[in-house]
Amino acid sequence: MRSLSTIRALPFYATGQSQVRAILDYAEMAGLHVTRGNALDFGSGLGRLSQALADQFEQVLGVDIAPAMVEQATALNRHGERVSYLLNEVDDLAALPSQTFDFVLSEITLMHMRPDYSKRYIAEFLRVLRPGGVAVFQLPDPTKKQRIKEAIPHFILDPALRLRAKRAPRMEIYGITRAEIERATTAAGANIALVEEIHEGQAGNRRYYVIA
């Protein structure tokens, strides 16, 4: 088993640094000002992006639903008190006060939630942002398979999905159309300032830059 010091040196963490720099550079080249105060990493996992954000921001909070991830990310933290991790096992961010963060980042995480949950979290991102703060999150368009599932009543679909998960666990991918995201952000009193097409993985994959 690798030691914590060995894991810290893995390219895994270097990819986080290059990814965060690329996102911030893209935003600023487009004229968005990102205050480098408090940042939130939603779906922080092992802290790949949280650690990278700490190179750019004064304080960083990583949030994840998995106790093991929060525990390991805390053990792998190389920024001391400037980075902390929070276990959040509910479907909102009620544990976080409103208007607390200058920047919210969520990569990949939202696409593994049903749209009703991801929309709720988007609204929460905008709630915890300070006025003028920026949220960046990644979501693809819905797949044909997803649209078929959405047409099936939950009382029929949910038991079938639970049974399949027991037999062969797999991570589902869900998308939301750009129009739906625009409605969700507008309802929260925010504006989509920039949309970046991500030319990898699922078609219609986009990164949204939203100003609170």
Domain harbouring 13, CATH code: 3.40.50.150
84 strand-pairing partners: 61
Residues 101-133 as b/e (b if ≥16 CB within 10 A, e otherwise) read: bbbbbbbebbbebebeebbebbbbbbbbbbeeb
pLDDT (tens digit per residue) in 140-188: 988 655 454 444 555 554 564 455 545 555 568 888 999 999 999 999 9
The label of the residue with tokens 């979290």 reads: 121
The pLDDT value given to residue 182? 95
Claim to verify: residue 160 and residue 94 sit in the same structural domain: no
Amino acid at 73: A
Claim to verify: residue 92 and residue 192 sit in the same structural domain: yes
Claim to verify: residue 108 and residue 127 sit in the same structural domain: yes
In angstroms, rounded to a whole number, what is the distance separating the alpha carbons of residues 82 and 94? 22
pLDDT (tens digit per residue) in 15-51: 999 999 999 999 999 999 999 999 999 999 999 999 9
Claim to verify: residue 130 and residue 146 sit in the same structural domain: no
End-to-end alpha carbon distance in the chain: 44
Q: What is the β-pairing status of strands 206-211 and 129-139?
A: antiparallel
Range of the domain at 153: 142-171
pLDDT (tens digit per residue) in 127-137: 999 999 999 99
Band (199; pLDDT cuts 50, 70, 90): confident
Q: Is the pLDDT of residue 201 over 60?
A: no
**Mean pLDDT in the chain?**
86
Band (1; pLDDT cuts 50, 70, 90): very low
Claim to verify: residue 115 and residue 32 sit in the same structural domain: yes
The pLDDT value given to residue 153? 58
